[in-house]
Chains A and B, each alone.
Chain A
Amino acid sequence: MLDVNNSSLQMSGVSGLQMFFGWVRTFVAHFLGKRNLEVYTAHLASANFNNRPQIKVLAVNSEQYRVPSWGEFEKVIRNALLDISEEDKGDIIEALRNKIITGKGLAPDADRSLFFLREIIANRHKETCNLIMHCEAVVAALLESQKDDNLILAELSKVLGHVPKCRIFHSCLLRTWPTIWFRFQNYAALFVGNFSKFSGLQI
């Protein structure tokens, strides 16, 4: 049985190696992205197809969200526990709750990271919290509104599938965007500008 308190991340094997390798390369992601853009540009130029790329920026300002109550968390957990008796569900939820409250057996950092949930359980939390959107989620949401082109959607989903999670849009300007831009030139203007809502970004 996996002891989540004492285990490092479980990522052995070849697929884990690929993920690890990708993670290590994030040290130079900006520069790899630049190089990729240059290579693409050179290829386009060699075919006399060098147009000025249009870059538009999505409004991905961080937003204030209502903090869910512990009861709502409970509901999500309960719904996720299929084929388990109500009694067992209650026990599991109670065990989780106790674990969060006491922090017993947790590493200091794990304990600290549960601060937010602890405040919710104790009903000491603020009404709202500040969350930042993942750029891929925004892109995906935009694409959902353009279902007339299923092929492109499928391809884009495939591309986006390679970008599992990037919290902040700016870090993808040189990385995610060119992929979409060059493969799907119809989407060159994918990132729709709304600068008035934009704040708190840094590259």
Chain B
Amino acid sequence: MDVSSAEGLANHAETLSDYLYHYGENLPERNDDSMSFTQYLLSVCWEKLHRRFCSWQRLGLIRKFEERVDILDAHLAIVGTSSGPKDPFLSRGTGDRTLLNFLYGNKDNIFKKMLPSALPSDMHPQPSPSVFDKLYEAVVHAHEKKKLELLYTKETALGFHYLVYCVFLTAGRAIKLIKDRSKPLKIAGASKNVSYSEFVESFKSHITAAVLPMKFLQFVLGSTVFKDHIGVWTNDGESLDLLLPNWTEKRVNLIFGKKRQFMAESKKGPQQESPIEGGNGDGDTPNESPTGGGENDDASEESPSGRYGDNDDNDDNDDAPEVGKSIW
């Protein structure tokens, strides 16, 4: 759907309205409907997602996940001391159960296939091959003993760190593949091409394939574990500046984006600065950074989801889909 046109946007609004109404009316079908709508959503917003993954600021963040493990190590060593981050390990909260259920329900695919294959072989520093072992054990124990607090501990923090990194990589690459498959469809007269139906099917299959990586990313970023992990990594914000976008690193970040296959090798990133707005000129925010007037479009933060937003205890939970083998 082309939502850049007036008609397309009207259709999108109508689709959303219909979906919500149907969702409210049909309790037994909610899980399936929700998954279908996620696919739809991805099909209309993948370009924006791609721009986000490829903005130099966000690439910088992902690069820091890869390269600044030293900061995490240093802060893990002083957790709970007067100069270190507060000990977050026993307090689990919003989104953690959803994440745990997802990790446990897909533990073999995630820990045996996805994570080992997602870690680049040329990382520096290179994590130990067993870096996820303790997290894997923690996931199993936390789920089976129903002790959520076991999920994130001093022992699992490093594994969780690399898990977040791998999920970023997997989701970003999945979105890039959608972009790659969309190219033949955008060529003038594409519908007359004898291979058009194949292009369409390929595009659709990559939309489908990107659903679970994006859901995974959603569960990770929506969890309290992630929030606490950022707290530990930055010593409760004290070292946050080290993770923030910095102009001087823009080029390095874009190179990283190509190297890690978030964006095409041959192309300059989609991040084109507009001389007028000083931003990226791509329909995203003018200064897309945590402080620079960037969006705070975190729905769970800005909406009254403090009351309802946590889906941990929600009966109509679509939040633990099984990971399809084809995804990884």
Contact = CB atoms under 8 A, between A and B. Distances in A.
A166 B231 contact: no
B182 interface: no
Query: Which of A55, A108, A110, A129 is the most central at the interface, judged by chain B CB atoms within 10 Å of its CB?
Result: A55
Nearest to A193: B10
B291 A19 contact: yes
A199 B6 contact: yes
Contacts of A113: 273, 275, 278
A179 B304 contact: yes
Contacts of B227: 21
B297 A8 contact: no
Given A8-B246, A17-B236, A164-B293, A39 B6 contact: no
B44 A41 contact: no
The main secondary structure of chain B at its interface with chain A is helix
Given A12-B237, A31-B41, A31-B218, A38 B23 contact: yes
Interface stretch (A45-53, A70-78, A85-93, A94-102): A45-53
Contact of B291 (A9, A57, A162, A182): A9
B215 A31 contact: yes
Contacts of A31: 38, 41, 214-215, 218
Interface string B140-184: 000000000000000000000000000010010000000000000
A173 B297 CA distance: 10
Contacts of B21: 50-53
Interface in B242-300: 243-248, 250, 273, 275-279, 283-286, 289-300
Given A20-B230, A113-B275, A42 B24 contact: yes
Contact residues on B (Cβ < 8 Å of other chain), bracket: 35 or more
A6 to B, nearest CB: 8
Contacts, number: 273
B17 A55 contact: yes
Contact of B41 (A30, A36, A130, A168): A30
Contacts of B122: none
B87 interface: no
A167 B277 CA distance: 11
A47 to B, nearest CB: 10
Interface string A126-137: 000111000000
Contacts of A24: 61, 221, 230
Interface in A18-35: 19-35
Contacts of B3: 170, 201-203
Contacts of A173: 12-13, 16
Contact of B17 (A40, A52, A168, A171): A52
Contacts of A187: none
A146 interface: no
Interface residues of A, number: 86
Contacts of A176: 297, 302
B243 A203 contact: no
A196 interface: yes
A104 interface: no
A196 B239 CA distance: 49
B237 A171 contact: no
B297 A109 contact: no
Contact of B20 (A10, A53, A115, A200): A53
Contacts of B303: 36, 175, 178-179, 182
A174 interface: yes
A183 B20 contact: no
B247 A110 contact: yes
B109 interface: no
Given A57-B9, A173-B16, A199-B4, 6 more contacts: A24-B221, A33-B299, A55-B16, A110-B247, A165-B293, A203-B44
19 contacts: A11-B241, A39-B311, A43-B308, A50-B24, A55-B16, A107-B248, A108-B247, A115-B275, A119-B275, A131-B276, A162-B296, A163-B302, A165-B285, A165-B295, A168-B283, A175-B297, A195-B7, A201-B3, A201-B4
Interface of A: 8-17, 19-45, 50-57, 107-110, 112-116, 119, 129-131, 159, 162-168, 170-176, 178-179, 182-183, 193, 195-196, 198-203
Interface of B: 3-7, 9-10, 12-14, 16-18, 20-21, 23-25, 27, 30, 34, 37-38, 41, 44-45, 47-49, 52-53, 58, 61, 168, 171, 214-215, 217-218, 221-222, 227, 230-231, 234, 236-241, 243-248, 250, 273, 275-279, 283-286, 289-305, 308-309, 311, 314-316, 318-319
